[in-house]
Amino acid sequence: MKKRIMVVGPTQSGKSTLTNVLNDTERPLKKTQDVIYGKNTIDTPGSYIENPSMYKYLIATAQTASHVLLLVDQARPIEVYPPGFAKTFTCPVLGVITKIDLAPQNANLSIQQLKRMGLAEPYFWISLKNHTGVAALKEYLLRKQETPDKN
């Protein structure tokens, strides 16, 4: 079974748009109510990270993922992740800052949030409006899937 990339983030942070890009599809964008398995991704509802009682579903779903992407919306860097949350997962976890073309004054806030979540660099800065940074993220994920970590 091919492993997929799980995308986690608050409501309206760009999860479904990013999964469309990673799957090379044009699935209509609407509020994600349930976990959606795409060709290369697992799109999770924002409510799963916004409600602590739902964390167990994220953790269980991640068992089948090659990577977890934790999204921070630079335009709205709300604190939804508990401290050290990235350490919950057994697969590699990457920090992705979305909507970098909006609210550039929040760049440092976004980095601080990723650090509190327990994430180290590299961080991926993307804009889904003009696809800035998306190629670098895709290339990194593809390279990691071809040469899986030994640990």
**H or E element, residue 115:** helix 107-116
Q: Is the peptide bond before 122 cis (omega within 30 degrees of 0)?
A: yes
CA distance 114 to 97: 9
CATH classification of 4-146, choosing from 3.40.50.300, 3.10.450.40, 3.40.1160.10, 3.40.640.10? 3.40.50.300
Which candidate, 118, 2, 115, 6, places its Cα nearest to that of 57? Answer: 6
Q: What is the pLDDT of residue 31?
A: 67
Cα 144 → chain centroid: 16
Rounded alpha-carbon distances, angstroms, from residue 22 to 45, 107, 112, 130: 17, 24, 26, 15
Q: What is the pLDDT of residue 110?
A: 96
CA distance 21 to 23: 5
- Say if residues 127 and 100 touch (Cβ distance below 8 Å): yes
Q: What is the pLDDT of residue 145?
A: 57
pLDDT in tens, 26-73: 776 666 678 999 999 999 999 999 999 999 999 999 999 999 999 999
Q: What is the pLDDT of residue 97?
A: 97
Residue 82 banded pLDDT, cuts 50, 70, 90: very high
CA distance 111 to 68: 17
pTM of the model: 0.90
pLDDT in tens, 95-133: 999 999 999 999 999 999 999 999 999 999 999 888 899
- What is the domain partition of the chain in residue ranges? 4-146
